[in-house]
Chains A and B, each alone.
Chain A
Amino acid sequence: MTENAERGTATGSLPVFPLDRRKCPLSIPQEYEAMRADEPVAKVINRMTGKPAWALTRYADVRQVLGDPSMSSDARNPGYPHQFQVPEEMLPYIAFPFAAMDPPEHTVRRRMVIPEFTAKRIAELRPRTQAIVDARIDDMLAKGGPVDLVAELAVPVPSLQFCEMLGADPEHIGYFRDYAETTTGRDSSMEAVAGAIAQMDEFLDELITEKTHTPGEDLLSRIAARLPEEPTLEHDDLVAIARLLVIAGSDTTANIISLGTLVFLEHPKQLAEVRRDPSLLPGAIEELLRFLSILDSATVRVATKDIELAGGEIVREGEGVLALNGAANWDPSRYPDPHRFDIHRDAEGHMAFSYGNHMCPGANLARMQLEVVFGTLFSRIPDLRLAAPADELPYMFDAHAYGLHELPVTW
């Protein structure tokens, strides 16, 4: 437990958030169900700051808060419920990513990157995704089982593709993973996080400088080329933008690949249906995203004015809110029997990619990669199976983005 959490518990008997999934690894925290029934807008202690915040577990409330521009994402606001270790005295000096900003600062930065994630660009990337996935599966088959699917497939596919998109040398992949693990671990020390950020910034700083002087056909070169048109941005802002893309573009997808493979293997009848009829795969992926909600506690806001929620509860100006997207995605009033993984369910409206002006701009890229990964994996290795009991796997119970450290599989 962190120093902050101990401080938090000492202030009263409020539950400390975020909760983990130790009780049932393939479920969102099970406590949410009772909270939604008894106290859907609950005062809790945010473990990362030791301060109180509201935890929302109803679909309607989470949707309202994430869609409300008066609910701020500004990490410098003293009421912002940080989900990372951030020393309060350092707040004014940290180069936060645009996920932690409001308009107009957020808007100008987001507009620098969204041209890179259009439907057209994603369609152009698909053959490359297929080639990367095929090469990784060739390797797995050549090695023979058992292998660790996290190391062989889940981590390399999105990070290799992201390296290529950025225009970085693929030899830096391990570096991206180390950065993700350090910065998203809820128990990482502040020194370790600061060190990892500084190191990543140095790497990206050099890379962007290189792309500015000798541009190539890649994302960072194009972003660097857009910089002169944006009078409010400078080189260092591009470093912060690139740092956000590194974490958002590789770690999250890797975790859905490993956990998603596990969920499919635990539901063999549904997996057989998807293998027989690949047109079911996109719907199955939406259901996976809803069911896993790996970034459940990442969607946080601070109120800049009083707002009233669906049940009449008031959130006051300056108060922090944990708009738990996993709790929303498991609200039975929106998704009946939410604990049931059901590829035939209509998972439309899930908020696994968040909602509102911060909704993930890479959502459609992730969807395409997941389609290629699962479609190829289960057709090329039809008898894939777990090589360890599901309840003994090394789950990332203490990570910002839920996932698996390892997934032993064989065939």
Chain B
Amino acid sequence: MRITTDRETCVGSGACVFHAQGVFDQHPDGRVLLLVEEPDEALRAAALTAAANCPVNAISVNDV
């Protein structure tokens, strides 16, 4: 699993950090900061939940 984020689309809702703290954080400007591009098994479910709940679909998850 590989995650990409779109900082132009991001509106800084913090939903990703709420759902997957180990995978996402927020840059000091409030927008998304990706911590882990390829989350391991333990973080995968949370990463998928975060992607599904991003209010502006700024998170993409691809199979590698």
List residues of chain A with CB under 8 Å of any chain B CB.
66-67, 107, 110-111, 113-120, 348-349, 353-361, 363-364, 367
Q: A100 to chain B: closest CB distance in Å?
A: 15
Say whether A359 contacts B55, CB under 8 Å: yes
Interface presence of B4 (CB below 8 A): no
A348, B56: Cα distance in complex, Å: 16
Q: A348-B53, A349-B53 are in contact. Are A360 and B26 (CB under 8 A)?
A: no
Say whether B30 contacts A359, CB under 8 Å: no
A residues near B49, Cβ cutoff 8 Å: 348
What are 16 A-B contacts defined by CB distance under 8 Å? A107-B11, A110-B11, A110-B12, A111-B29, A111-B30, A114-B31, A116-B30, A118-B26, A118-B28, A348-B53, A353-B13, A356-B56, A359-B13, A359-B15, A359-B55, A363-B18
Q: B60 to chain A: closest CB distance in Å?
A: 15
Interface presence of B3 (CB below 8 A): no
Q: Which of these, B25, B31, B56, contacts A67 with CB under 8 Å?
A: B56
Give the A-B pair count, Cβ closer than 8 A.
Answer: 72
Say whether A364 contacts B17, CB under 8 Å: yes
Q: A114-B29, A118-B28 are in contact. Are A360 and B13 (CB under 8 A)?
A: yes
Say whether A114 contacts B11, CB under 8 Å: yes
A124, B61: Cα distance in complex, Å: 31
Interface presence of B36 (CB below 8 A): no
A68, B7: Cα distance in complex, Å: 18
Say whether B53 contacts A357, CB under 8 Å: no
Q: B58 to chain A: closest CB distance in Å?
A: 10
A111, B26: Cα distance in complex, Å: 13
B residues near A354, Cβ cutoff 8 Å: 55
Say whether A119 contacts B21, CB under 8 Å: yes
Q: B15 to chain A: closest CB distance in Å?
A: 7
Q: B50 to chain A: closest CB distance in Å?
A: 10
A361, B56: Cα distance in complex, Å: 13
A residues near B19, Cβ cutoff 8 Å: 348
Give chain B's interface secondary structure class.
loop
A residues near B27, Cβ cutoff 8 Å: 118
A66, B57: Cα distance in complex, Å: 12
B residues near A116, Cβ cutoff 8 Å: 30
Q: Which residue of A lies closest to B17 (CB)?
A: A119
A364, B26: Cα distance in complex, Å: 12
Interface presence of B39 (CB below 8 A): no
Say whether B30 contacts A367, CB under 8 Å: no
Other 7 A-B pairs with CB < 8 A, given A111-B29, A363-B18: A114-B12, A114-B26, A114-B31, A118-B27, A348-B49, A361-B30, A363-B15
Q: A290 to chain B: closest CB distance in Å?
A: 13
Q: A112 to chain B: closest CB distance in Å?
A: 9
Q: Which residue of B lies closest to A346 (CB)?
A: B49
Say whether A361 contacts B26, CB under 8 Å: no
Q: A356-B56, A359-B55, A364-B17 are in contact. Are A120 and B12 (CB under 8 A)?
A: no
Say whether A119 contacts B11, CB under 8 Å: no
A356, B58: Cα distance in complex, Å: 11
B residues near A110, Cβ cutoff 8 Å: 11-12
Q: A114-B29, A114-B31, A115-B28 are in contact. Are A355 and B55 (CB under 8 A)?
A: yes
Q: B44 to chain A: closest CB distance in Å?
A: 16
Q: A12 to chain B: closest CB distance in Å?
A: 35
A residues near B56, Cβ cutoff 8 Å: 67, 356-357
Say whether A115 contacts B30, CB under 8 Å: yes
Say whether A115 contacts B21, CB under 8 Å: no
Say whether A361 contacts B25, CB under 8 Å: no
Q: Which of these, B14, B21, B53, B57, contacts A117 with CB under 8 Å?
A: B14
A residues near B30, Cβ cutoff 8 Å: 111, 113-118, 361
Q: Which residue of B lies closest to A63 (CB)?
A: B55
Say whether A361 contacts B14, CB under 8 Å: yes
Q: A114-B31, A120-B26, A355-B55 are in contact. Are A367 and B18 (CB under 8 A)?
A: yes
Which of A111, A114, A115, A348 has the most CB atoms of chain B within a 10 A radius of its CB? Answer: A114
Q: B10 to chain A: closest CB distance in Å?
A: 9
Give chain B interface residues in 33-64, CB to chain A under 8 Å: 49, 52-53, 55-57
A residues near B31, Cβ cutoff 8 Å: 111, 114
Say whether A357 contacts B11, CB under 8 Å: yes
B residues near A364, Cβ cutoff 8 Å: 14, 17-18
Which of B15, B25, B49, B57 has the most CB atoms of chain A within a 10 A radius of its CB? Answer: B15
Q: Which of these, B14, B29, B52, B53, contacts A119 with CB under 8 Å?
A: B14
